[in-house]
């Protein structure tokens, strides 16, 4: 699987002839390495949404109105359908949505969730994506919580973890999460986009590598193979 970091919490996963986009915050951020128009031309198979905050929901509707399935909580699926995304799919924590591209299973996350217009977005979630023989956990926005051990029991090829602090766990707490998740590879996200997100990815890298994890710090636009 090829994994490309698109800034904040946005990632493009590529494998098995498919592309899947997670948390597509592409406009309104100086960190996005591609334009919305470029991303719409990727012909992605699905857009996965961890929760409804603007820096995660982002440009989802642009993809949904182009016919791409938006997959999130029941509230996110309903909101997307009501706003022109006819192929949106609403699920919930513990459920799995499957497609030709692979599958996504929704896990808990400790955070909040509402759309930019104030509409309730359902429970925030993490996402366990299975695609092209790989299993990737995108934690969404969250703190450290003990049930991460159960997520790790699935056997994770990669964990994408927020480290920015203030709204989520910081780098030290995210490194502690690696002890529960036990991934082969870890990639930090949700830092540096706004001044309040002060978490240092080099601190996370140092602490994660001390725990035996292959930590890869990606700049927006960079990709790596999982």
CA–CA–CA angle 22, 104, 97 (5° rounding): 120
pLDDT digits (tens, 9 = 90+) for 110-141: 999 999 999 999 999 999 999 999 999 999 99
Contact criterion met (CB below 8 Å) for 47 and 69: yes
Task: Output the average pLDDT for the chain.
Answer: 98
Q: Is pLDDT above 90 for 185?
A: yes
Q: Tell me, what's the pLDDT at 28?
A: 86
Instruction: Please tell me the CATH code under which domain 2-218 is placed.
Output: 3.60.15.10
Q: Is pLDDT above 90 for 207?
A: yes
d(CA 6, CA 206): 23
Domain ranges of the chain: 2-218
Contact partners, residue 205, CB within 8 Å, separation at least 6: 188, 215, 217
SS (H, E, C) 7-67: CCCCEEEEECCEEEEECCCCCCCCCCCCCHHHHHCCCCCEEECCCCCHHHHCCHHHHHHCC
* Residue 226, SS3 per DSSP: coil
Give the closest residue to 46 by CA, choosing from 66, 74, 25.
66
């Amino acid at each position: 699987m090829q994994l490309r970091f698109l800034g904040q919490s946005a990632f493009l996963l590529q494998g098995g002839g498919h592309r899947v986009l997670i948390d597509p915050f592409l406009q309104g951020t100086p960190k996005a390495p591609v334009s919305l128009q470029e991303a719409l031309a990727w012909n992605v198979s699905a857009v996965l949404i961890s929760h409804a905050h603007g820096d995660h929901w982002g440009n989802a509707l642009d993809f949904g109105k182009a016919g791409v399935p938006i997959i999130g909580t029941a509230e996110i699926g309903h909101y997307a359908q009501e706003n022109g995304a006819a192929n949106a799919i609403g699920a919930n924590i513990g459920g799995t949505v499957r497609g030709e591209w692979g599958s996504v299973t929704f896990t808990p996350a400790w955070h909040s969730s509402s759309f930019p217009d104030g509409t309730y977005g359902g429970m925030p979630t993490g996402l366990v994506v299975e695609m092209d023989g790989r299993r990737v956990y995108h934690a969404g926005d969250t703190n450290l919580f003990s049930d991460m051990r159960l997520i790790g029991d699935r056997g994770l090829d990669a964990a994408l973890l927020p480290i920015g602090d203030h709204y989520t766990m910081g780098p030290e707490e995210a490194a502690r999460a690696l002890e529960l998740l036990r991934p082969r590879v870890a990639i930090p996200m949700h830092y540096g986009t706004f001044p309040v997100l002060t978490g240092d990815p080099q601190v996370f890298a140092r602490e994660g590598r001390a725990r035996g994890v292959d930590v890869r710090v990606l700049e927006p636009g960079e990709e790596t193979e999982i």
